[in-house]
Structure formats: structure tokens, C-alpha cells
Structure 1
């Protein structure tokens, strides 16, 4: 069922992704209400209303449900219980099941493997003895991560050629929380696919982007990625398989490692609009943000083809000082997030530099 113009879409989370979703919703004639504990958050600056409360506050959830015709979210660490409470009163897209899968790296990899999508090898780790055993299984090398709540490189530690043990205190230093050791992957590049699934089951996928990370944070996304057509088609097909398996409605980001032989290993899924899809607002007629709003509002999905090659780059911390020079360039779209204070590692905005014009992708 399509939402009538003037309906209100609830958004859990008030960061820059919520901000861009609210802007896309306004373009399509919808109102937005944001649930976010931080006052004057980026999304609240452009939304119609903010409910200032914790994401799991019962009264706030009831208020959000009462105000909204549909609810979505901008980050994957929304409490699953909160999504389920809302879903009993109002449609919630993407479904709570997507949150359950994405919030635990072991569950995520088991889900991916279960639907035939390959990942790096992995071992759950609960203590230092378990870490020693897991590293021995991976010849002393791997990436130790928290199973839950990690993002932008946080909650990670890399081991290389350390199969002999002697890891006392490592798990405590990681917070004494459930962990996962992932095998190191000899990848050539990292890519991601932004895909969408509508309420009618229709699927649309954008061209894969090639991503470069610095200090665990996305630095840039380049389209087209330097991969074969076969690899690009496989990445898009894998994204579609994930969307269908989750009975998903909305936009999803799926990250992959590309191996030297062109094979793919899925790294992570993000049940939301994704940083590596920001290029779509400049290089496509239809951005990932409008695509998400279309999906959750029951509207037809749009054409994901791009009209230009491009490079999107994040503006992090003091990179904000580059804005005047970027604004002076031709074929550059600058998007700032309305954050008052530039801090180390904080995403302040992004820009997309357009390149070669093309007929389609």
C-alpha cells in the first residue's frame, strides 16, 4: 500500500543518514519525525519534528508509533526489542530480522553462509583460551572483533603470525564481551553494492563502488570499481539474494572483498542506507536515499543507473577546511551534515566529484 502524500515517516536515529532520508522524504511530499536522544541532531535540522529520548524508551516508542504511518531507521544498532514493539503497532522497514542478523557478526556470517554466500573463515571467541585455539586454526593470523556494536574500525585487533599463544588479558582488554576471530583475507580490493527491495518484491541494485578505508573509516568510494563484469554481476546477485532471504523492504549496503582471482567474499551487511552509496546523489538521477523512501512508502523503485563515473570522498574532522576550495570546483557536489564541532574521526560531510558522462550503467 502506497503512503499518501503528507503522511509521516518515523526515523530512528538522528545522524547524517537520518538527515538525508528526511530530505529525500520531503522531496516526495512526506513529513518526518525523528527519534534521537541528542538534541539538535543533524536529522532534526531538516525533519518536521524530533522526539528527544532514548531509542528504547517505551513512552517515546509509543509516541513515534502514534505519529508515524511507517517507521524506518538509519543505523543497525537499533535495539531489536524496540523495533519489535514498534512493529506491533506500525509497519517497520527494514524488518527486525535484518537487525538481528547485522548486529552479531557470528550470526551474520552464519546467515550468509546459510544462503550460499561465501565469507572469510571465522571462529567465535569467548576467552583467551578460545582465542589461542582460533589463531592456531588460522595459522596465527586473523582479525579479532567484537561480535556486536563495532563500527568504523572500532573494537578490532589484528594478529599476524602469532600461533604460539600468550594472549592472556586480550579478551579483557577488548571489553570481556563476545568476540569473533576472522581469517585474514588476501584481497585485492574492497567493494560494496547498494541494493533495494520494494514491498512488492522488486529489486534494484546500483553499480558496485570500490572503497578505500583509512584508520578503519571509509575514505573514498569510486565508481566504476576496477573489477570484471562477472564480479560486478556476482556482487549484485548476492545483494539480491540477501534482500530476498530477509524479506527486506528498503535499502541495504553489502560489503565484499575481491580476491586475486576475482572471487568475492562477503564482509558485512548494513540494513540501511550506506556511506559507500553517497555517490548516488550526484551520479544518479535517483539517490539511495530516495530509493529507500520509495521502498518504505510503498512507491515503485526507481532506475538505479548512473549518468556519470565519480569519486565520493568523506570529509572527516578538520577536512571541513577543504570546503571553500571544493565549492570553487566544477562538477563537485558538496554535502555537509550540520555538525557544529569538527572532531578527530568525525564525519562532517562528503563530496562527490563527477567524471566521465555515460549513457547508462
Structure 2
């Protein structure tokens, strides 16, 4: 007899834009969603069935969520994994598993696990003290990358060490001996790409096309799908993504960020155990979006078709420099006149410089056309605040 999932309630840790887009897909399939997020006006608040406005890392709050739900998932990896491990021991269903989350949360253990599984990664060492940081300089030469092992996103928690003169500044800037640090060889890559991949409870795999990513100031600016790479590289990247998910025994969507070098090497940079900014193009461009696929996976439903329907470009909409305060969206009408433009506004009440406030996607017959139209639509929209007259 097939299991009845019609009354399933999903508990979601985090109510940001990723959570909101997960809920939109969960609602289509009839699921209820309860959100844990401290912000009473978070993007997911307006569409969830219930909102628990407590800390994402509060063990008692996570337990309250678990008592109300059948399954727990999350939209942000920097959460209280020890609380989740305790709940899992009590047979609470949590996907992706706390075990895989714990491995991924620490960049050193993540890289070590990938290396042990013969998954290619940049050369790295653990930095225990200042002497080992000096050793990293001798081992890798300059520049090299220094990272905090835990926390950090959009470039936060990273320091490019350009010469031995930067060692002391980098060490203290990232927390010194009080913080776990990872030194990594600087990869002179030809392209940054990501692969969104999903693994079901039954071990089934679904891998989305390889996408090219362009970052500005460590924030994703543009994603193009499919990535303009030859089939050999594309196949290798997709195979690596599948191998990584099987290694982690992951359930749900994972994003595997990679570097492609000029010599054609494919190296894993980092893994995120959740839907990802670079996978937003899948909403319009693929038969099944990353968000629908995640909900299917964690509820035990068959995974959907992840094939690309048409080439697509996605660009982030960031808060304009010089503005902080209640968000105002300008230029939407003009942007929607652009052929194929789909605008997503996340519903964040407050804007601030470079905050992710939305995104634009365009699908077209060719990748170059999609990229051109997407850039045009994106440039017509500005996210400002009510105090625009104070702009300098």
C-alpha cells in the first residue's frame, strides 16, 4: 500500500527567500509548512501555515518545531547541527541529514571527505597556528586563500593572502588561533560553475545542467545555463556532483560549486546542502525547479525531470549602494516589457547596499540572447529606500 502523504507538515528552519520559494512549491503539492525564523517579517512569513519567531540556533525552538512537523528541512546551513543530531537520534526525520550537514558546515572536514573519496579539490591544509600559516605560504606560494572553517558566505570569512606581508593581517582578521582556519591553493580558474543535484530518500539521483557563474565583489551577479563548456567537461562536472551526493548520503537539493581551469581540470570549491542562488534559473528553464525537486525528495516522492527546456540567464537584484531602510522597487513596469523577463521580488522589508532583494530570469532560443535580455531587464530595476533624496 502506498503511503498517504496528504497531511504531511514540513518544518522549515529559515524563512528567507529560499524558504519562501520552497514553500511555494510545497503548497502546490498540498503540504503544510511551519517556519522557524526570528524575523517576524521574513519573506516566508506571509505564505507559511505557521511562523515560530525564535532563533535558528535555539535548541528548544528547534524542538518545538519538530513536535509540530513530520519532516524538518532548512534553507541555511549555519544552524545548530548538534540539536538536529539529537532529534535524529529520537527518529525525527531531517533532510538533508544532520550528519551530512555537520561534514559540510566545516570547510576542512568537507574538503577532507571529498579528497578521501577521490573527488578533485584544490590543495589545502589546516591552519592551527601562525607557524602553520607561514608554512602555507611556503607550500602554495602567493597568492593563496585563507578561509574560516565554519561560517562565511558571499566571500565573508575569506582573505586573499597576496604576500608574506599579509600573513599577520589575514590571520588576525579571520580570528587567529581562536578560529579554525583553512589555507587553500589559489586556483587560476578559467570559469566558475555550479551543479544543482538532488538525491532521493531511495538513493535516486537527479542532476541539473552545469551553469556558469560570474561573481562581483564575491556576490553572484549572473548565472548562465547551460554553461558554455564542452560535453566532456560538462559530463565530468555532473558525475562529480552525483559522486559527492552519494558520498554524503544526502537527501534533497545540494549545490556543488566548482572551478574549471584552463587545462580542463574540474575542482570542487564548496558544497551547499540546500537550494542555491545559482539554481534560481531552474524555476523557468527546467522541467522541474530546484525547489520542487527538494520538496519531492524530502517527502519521498519520485524526483522530477531536471532537463533544461531552453537556455537561460539569471541576474540578482541587489540593494542599491547608498540606501538603507524600507525597500522600494523601481522600474518593474519597464523591466517586464523586456521579452521573456521574469522578475522575482523576495519581499524583504528592509533594503541595504548589496543585499539580495530579488532576481530576474530570461529564457530564450540562444544563451547569448538570454544573457543580453536578462542584463537589460536587470538594469531597469532599482531597489532603493523611501529616503531616495538622501542618495549620494
TM-score range, shorter chain: over 0.9
Alignment partner, residue 312 of structure 2 = 310
Instruction: Give the TM-score of the pair, scaled to structure 2.
Output: 0.87
CA distance in 2, matches of 1:199, 1:153: 32
Alignment partner, residue 138 of structure 1 = 140
The equivalences for 1:224-243 within 5 A come to 224-243=226-245
Aligned-residue CA RMSD (Å)? 1.7
CA distance in 2, matches of 1:3, 1:56: 32
Deviation at 1:166, TM superposition (A): 6.9
Alignment partner, residue 275 of structure 1 = 277
Alignment partner, residue 344 of structure 1 = 353
- SS of aligned partner of 1:318: coil
Q: Deviations over 1:304-325 (max 9, x none)?
A: 0111101011101129544332
Alignment partner, residue 221 of structure 2 = 219
Indicate if the aligned counterparts of 2:199 and 2:245 stay in contact, CA closer than 8 A. yes
Q: Deviations over 1:32-85 (max 9, x none)?
A: 001111212111221111111122323322221111111111011121112113
- SS of aligned partner of 2:235: helix
Indicate if the aligned counterparts of 1:227 and 1:262 stay in contact, CA closer than 8 A. no
Alignment partner, residue 297 of structure 1 = 299
CA distance in 2, matches of 1:84, 1:2: 26
CA distance in 1, matches of 2:205, 2:199: 4
Alignment partner, residue 353 of structure 1 = 362
Structure 1 residues 264 and 59, CA gap change in structure 2 (3 angstroms): same
Indicate if the aligned counterparts of 1:140 and 1:159 stay in contact, CA closer than 8 A. yes
- SS of aligned partner of 1:308: coil
The equivalences for 1:1-361 within 5 A come to 4-87=5-88, 88-160=90-162, 162-163=163-164, 167-176=167-176, 177-318=179-320, 320-356=329-365
CA distance in 2, matches of 1:39, 1:257: 38
CA distance in 2, matches of 1:332, 1:305: 21
5+ residue gaps, structure 1, are none
CA distance in 2, matches of 1:3, 1:236: 33
Structure 1 residues 156 and 3, CA gap change in structure 2 (3 angstroms): farther
Indicate if the aligned counterparts of 2:224 and 2:312 stay in contact, CA closer than 8 A. yes
Indicate if the aligned counterparts of 1:128 and 1:170 stay in contact, CA closer than 8 A. no
Structure 1 residues 2 and 129, CA gap change in structure 2 (3 angstroms): farther
CA distance in 2, matches of 1:34, 1:174: 32
Deviation at 1:174, TM superposition (A): 1.7
- SS of aligned partner of 1:349: strand
Structure 1 residues 120 and 8, CA gap change in structure 2 (3 angstroms): same
5+ residue gaps, structure 2, are 322-328, 368-392
Instruction: Give the TM-score of the pair, scaled to structure 1.
Output: 0.94
CA distance in 1, matches of 2:65, 2:362: 38
Indicate if the aligned counterparts of 2:198 and 2:206 stay in contact, CA closer than 8 A. yes
Deviation at 1:273, TM superposition (A): 0.6
CA distance in 1, matches of 2:3, 2:215: 38
- SS of aligned partner of 2:350: coil
Indicate if the aligned counterparts of 1:3 and 1:297 stay in contact, CA closer than 8 A. no
